[in-house]
Chain A
Amino acid sequence: MPAVRVLVVHAHPDPGSFNGALVHAAVDALTGAGHDVDALDLYAEDFDPVMSRAEREAYETDSPICSPEVARHVELVRHADALVFVYPTWWGGLPAILKGWLDRVLVPGVAFDFDDTHRVTPAMQHVQRVVGVTTYGSAPWYVRVVGDAGRRTITRIVWLNCRRRSRPWWLAMYRLDTASRTDCEAFLARVTDRLARL
């Protein structure tokens, strides 16, 4: 991809965690490849993931955005040519702070529109690539058995609202609890290498 604008959304409570290292690697790789990177660290921003009553009541109106914080995030989404999510998988899916970012920021008029029959049509045609980078405590077979909810959320539901000409990328590290330093470094290298080729 020629130089584009990439929005990296990150969610982990500990900046010193392996996920913290992953987001650094991702941002460095993208910047190194000449892309313009916006990085959102939801924990550092103290993002509130709970949709308020006012937001729910405004959701299907022409002005569903009710806070300056959400408006700022919406602007970043609107300018993004690629979306990269970096997070730990908890109970098969997204940490609540990231799930709530989808709930509150990806609202009608931003991520999708309702057509005349009130069906959802994609509105993130400007997003040419969706990337998920995540860590699992479990082994791949276990993740498959329990359904891999987070992967479905990112690579199907979010992706379905983007320009679907290119497949989503899913970069996952399994068995984090017993991973060695070498395993971690190998995954960091894989993330760096892949994102440098966005």
Chain B
Amino acid sequence: MRVLVVYAHPVPGSFNAAVLGRVRAGLGRAGHEVDVVDLHAVDFDPVLPVDEWQVEYDPADADPILSDHIARLLRADALVFVHPTWWGGQPAVVKGWIDRVFANGAAYDRLAHKNRVRGRLGNIRRLAVVATHGSSKLVNLVQGEPGKVTVLRQLRLLCHRRCRRQWLAFYNGDRAGDEERRAFLIRVEDAFARW
């Protein structure tokens, strides 16, 4: 499979960077082709501009970075997000990647008369999120995990009918020691090695 990995963390050498390394390693062990989008490295602009919001917008006219990302999404067989969790969800740069790359006419068709969208991402057969959290699992449950539902429910509906979902979360990061971190890295690599 060709796996598109969308990664965001502002600090090189962060724990998330180590997580990304394990995602690559695991997928490599399983023989998959890995395509990484590092949003901070490419200085991705997550703010959807007014022309992309308008109904007449055609993603074929997207700027070069954006059309490149759209093309890579449409070529992928699987999509993986790797990022920290801030205010319960994706950092803005990841949310804005979704806002802009999942464009009408690319990731979905708008059926305005039905207030519905029809997904165009039948190519995506696996969807996974690897997210680190500062707070505990209990706190996140109370807060409702908006980041989790955004990808595993909202975006899932655009993908292949039988698209499989996976959620790998590192909770309680604010109080975690090296032992827990090491264990999580191993868990991540093993999970992707089984893909």
> Contact residues of A with B, CB < 8 Å?
13-14, 43, 49-53, 55-57, 90-97, 99-100, 102-103, 106, 114, 117-120, 137-139, 142, 145-150, 152-153, 156-158, 160, 174-178
Q: Can you list, as one digit per residue, whether each of B72-92 has a CB less than 8 Å from chain A (1) or not (0)?
A: 000000000000001111111
Which residue of the partner chain B has the closest CB to A152? Answer: B144
Find out whether the CB atom of A149 lies under 8 angstroms from the CB atom of B11.
no
Find out whether the CB atom of A97 lies under 8 angstroms from the CB atom of B144.
no
Find out whether the CB atom of A56 lies under 8 angstroms from the CB atom of B146.
no
Which residue of the partner chain A has the closest CB to B100? Answer: A96
User: Which of A43, A96, A106, A174 has the most CB atoms of chain B within a 10 A radius of its CB?
Assistant: A96
Q: List 25 interface pairs A-B (beta carbons < 8 Å), by A numbering.
A: A50-B91, A51-B86, A91-B99, A92-B146, A92-B150, A93-B146, A97-B48, A100-B46, A102-B86, A103-B91, A103-B92, A117-B175, A119-B135, A120-B139, A138-B116, A139-B115, A142-B115, A146-B154, A147-B150, A149-B146, A149-B149, A149-B150, A150-B146, A157-B146, A178-B112
Which residue of the partner chain B has the closest CB to A88? Answer: B53
A96 to B83 alpha-carbon distance, docked (Å): 15
Is B122 among interface residues, defined by CB-CB distance under 8 A? no
Between A and B, how many residue pairs show CB distances below 8 Å? 160
For the complex of A and B, list the 8 residue pairs with the smallest distance between their C-beta atoms, beginning with the closest: A96-B96, A100-B92, A147-B149, A149-B146, A152-B144, A49-B92, A96-B46, A13-B50
Q: Can you list, as one digit per residue, whether each of B98-118 has a CB less than 8 Å from chain A (1) or not (0)?
A: 110010000000101101110
A153 to B88 alpha-carbon distance, docked (Å): 7
Residues on A with C-beta less than 8 A from B102 are 91
Q: Known pairs A53-B10, A56-B14; list 18 more (Cβ under 8 Å).
A: A13-B48, A49-B46, A50-B40, A92-B150, A93-B89, A93-B95, A99-B96, A100-B95, A102-B86, A114-B174, A119-B174, A142-B116, A147-B153, A152-B143, A152-B149, A153-B146, A157-B87, A177-B112
In chain B, residues 129-180, which have Cβ atoms closer than 8 Å to a Cβ of chain A? 134-135, 139, 142-147, 149-150, 153-155, 157, 174-175
Instruction: Knowing A52-B10, A117-B175 are in contact, say whether A99-B113 is a contact too (CB < 8 A).
Output: no
Q: Can you list, as one digit per residue, whether each of B33-65 has a CB less than 8 Å from chain A (1) or not (0)?
A: 000000010000011111001100000000000
A177 to B111 alpha-carbon distance, docked (Å): 9
Least Cβ distance of B189 to chain A in Å?
Answer: 25
Instruction: Knowing A53-B10, A139-B115, A178-B113 are in contact, say whether A149-B89 is a contact too (CB < 8 A).
Output: yes
Which residue of the partner chain B has the closest CB to A120? Answer: B135
Residue from B87, B134, B155, B157 within 8 A of A99 (CB atoms): B87
Which residue of the partner chain B has the closest CB to A148? Answer: B149
Is B128 among interface residues, defined by CB-CB distance under 8 A? no
Residues on A with C-beta less than 8 A from B86 are 51, 102-103
A119 to B173 alpha-carbon distance, docked (Å): 11
